[in-house]
């Protein structure tokens, strides 16, 4: 696909859910859209439970290629996906925005993390299919 849409997964701290979404989007759908993640604040490191579980499940080392970053560091974005932290990003213009309503698994059990990772996995792949089906009027 030429001129792939740019998708930003946005969360407050950009250390867990949005990072998982970015990693899975790149893992599965790099040929469909460009994936980014960012937050309105940053953390010094990614959530270590998320890092460990993503390594175990997918062989993805998020710390190797990703870091917590601010929304001001993003390029021009076509689609904004908020993770469910009620983040309003008025400074992040986009063509389409939706909220996935995901609870933050930080500090919770692996079971809770795995449920969130599985949900993000499904939603990222559904998003990719929606982009392929031209569901979004992006240009």
Residue 127 falls in which region: left (phi positive, over 0), alpha (psi -120 to 50) or beta: alpha
Please tell me the predicted confidence (pLDDT) of residue 92. 78
Domain 6-132, CATH number (from 3.30.413.10, 3.30.930.10, 3.40.50.2300, 3.30.390.30): 3.40.50.2300
Contacts of 37 (CB under 8 A, 6+ apart): 8, 9, 10, 11, 14, 18, 19, 21, 22, 66, 69
Give residue 12's pLDDT: 87
Q: Hey, is 25 helix, strand or coil?
A: helix
Distance between CA atoms of residues 37 and 93, nearest Å: 15
Average pLDDT over residues 36-45: 92
Amino acid 88: pLDDT: 57
Rounded CA separation 9/5 (Å):
13
**Confidence at residue 86, expressed as pLDDT on a 0 to 100 scale:** 65
81-122 pLDDT, tens digit per residue, is: 999 866 555 557 889 999 999 999 999 999 999 999 999 999
pLDDT tens digit string along 47-78? 999 999 999 999 999 999 999 999 999 999 99
pLDDT at 84: 86
pTM of the model: 0.94
pLDDT at position 4 = 93
Query: Can you tell me the distance from the alpha carbon of 52 to that of 48, in angstroms, rounded to the nearest whole number?
Result: 6
């Amino acid at each position: 696909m030429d001129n792939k849409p740019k998708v930003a997964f946005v969360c407050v701290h950009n250390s867990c859910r949005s990072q998982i979404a970015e990693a899975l989007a790149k893992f599965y759908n790099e040929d469909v859209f460009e994936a980014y993640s960012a937050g309105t604040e940053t953390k010094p490191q990614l959530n270590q439970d998320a890092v460990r579980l993503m390594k175990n499940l997918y062989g993805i080392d998020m710390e190797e290629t990703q870091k917590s970053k601010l929304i001001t560091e993003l390029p021009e974005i076509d689609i904004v996906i908020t993770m469910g932290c009620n983040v309003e990003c008025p400074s992040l213009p986009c063509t389409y925005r939706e909220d996935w309503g995901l609870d933050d698994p930080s500090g919770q059990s692996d079971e809770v993390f795995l449920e969130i990772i599985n949900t993000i996995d499904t939603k990222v792949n559904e998003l990719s299919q929606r982009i392929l089906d031209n569901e979004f009027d992006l240009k």
